[in-house]
Amino acid sequence: MYVSESEVRAVLTYDALIPAIRQALSDYSAGLVIQPPRTIMRAGNADGYRNGWFATMPVIASDVMAVKNVTFFPGNSELGLPTHMAVIELLRRSTGEPLAVMDGRLITEMRTAAVSAVALSALAPRGARTLGILGSGVQARSHLEAFRHAMPGLTEVRIWSRNAANAQRLADEVAAQAGTIEEAAAADIVLTVTSSTEPILKGKWLAHNALVIAVGATGATVRELDDLVLNSSFIVAECKAAAERESGDIILSGFKVDAEIGAIVAGKVPAPIGRRTLFKSVGMAIEDLTAARIVWAARSKFTN
The reply to whether 96 falls in a domain is yes
Within this chain, do residues 195 and 274 fall inside the same structural domain, yes or no?
yes
Q: Burial, 123: exposed, middle or buried (Cβ in 10 Å; 0-12, 13-18, 19+)?
A: buried
Domain of residue 136, CATH code:
3.40.50.720
Q: How far apart are CA 301 and CA 284, in angstroms?
A: 27
Within this chain, do residues 295 and 274 fall inside the same structural domain, yes or no?
no
Q: How far apart are CA 187 and CA 283, in angstroms?
A: 25
Q: How is residue 201 annotated by DSSP?
A: B
Q: How far apart are CA 145 and CA 174, in angstroms?
A: 9
Q: How far apart are CA 254 and CA 231, in angstroms?
A: 9
Q: Burial, 133: exposed, middle or buried (Cβ in 10 Å; 0-12, 13-18, 19+)?
A: buried
The reply to whether 233 falls in a domain is yes
3-class secondary-structure state, position 88 = strand
Q: What are phi and psi of 35, to 5 degrees?
A: -150, 100
Within this chain, do residues 251 and 163 fall inside the same structural domain, yes or no?
yes
Within this chain, do residues 99 and 135 fall inside the same structural domain, yes or no?
no
pLDDT on residue 249: 94
Within this chain, do residues 92 and 47 fall inside the same structural domain, yes or no?
yes
- Characterize 57-77 residue by residue with b for buried, 16 or more Cβ atoms within 10 angstroms of its Cβ, and e for exposed: bbbbbeebbbbbebbbbbebe
Q: How far apart are CA 183 and CA 196, in angstroms?
A: 19
Distances from the Cα of 148 to the Cαs of 115, 145, 276, 283, 284, in angstroms?
A: 14, 5, 22, 21, 23
Within this chain, do residues 85 and 225 fall inside the same structural domain, yes or no?
no
Q: Burial, 189: exposed, middle or buried (Cβ in 10 Å; 0-12, 13-18, 19+)?
A: buried
Other C-beta atoms closer than 10 Å to the C-beta of 267 total 9
Within this chain, do residues 133 and 278 fall inside the same structural domain, yes or no?
yes
Q: What is the reported pTM?
A: 0.94
The reply to whether 120 falls in a domain is no
The reply to whether 229 falls in a domain is yes
pLDDT on residue 180: 97
Within this chain, do residues 139 and 260 fall inside the same structural domain, yes or no?
yes
Among 81, 35, 83, smallest CA distance to 56 is for: 35
Among 98, 75, 175, 73, smallest CA distance to 133 is for: 175
Contact by Cβ (8 Å): 11, 298 = yes
Q: What is the mean pLDDT of the chain?
A: 94
Q: How far apart are CA 226 and CA 257, in angstroms?
A: 16
Print the domain residue range for 28: 2-107+286-303
Residues of the chain with pLDDT under 50: 304
Domain of residue 58, CATH code:
3.30.1780.10
The reply to whether 30 falls in a domain is yes
The reply to whether 114 falls in a domain is no
Within this chain, do residues 102 and 245 fall inside the same structural domain, yes or no?
no
pLDDT on residue 51: 86
Within this chain, do residues 140 and 253 fall inside the same structural domain, yes or no?
yes
Q: At 299, which helix (H) or strand (E)?
A: helix 285-303
What would the pLDDT profile of 206-263 be if each residue is shown by its tens digit? 999 999 999 998 788 889 999 999 999 999 999 999 999 999 999 999 999 999 999 9
Contact by Cβ (8 Å): 289, 93 = no
Tell me how many domains the chain contains.
2
Within this chain, do residues 68 and 154 fall inside the same structural domain, yes or no?
no
Within this chain, do residues 176 and 263 fall inside the same structural domain, yes or no?
yes
The reply to whether 94 falls in a domain is yes
Strands 189-192 and 130-134: parallel
Q: Which amino acid is at 120?
A: L
The reply to whether 131 falls in a domain is yes
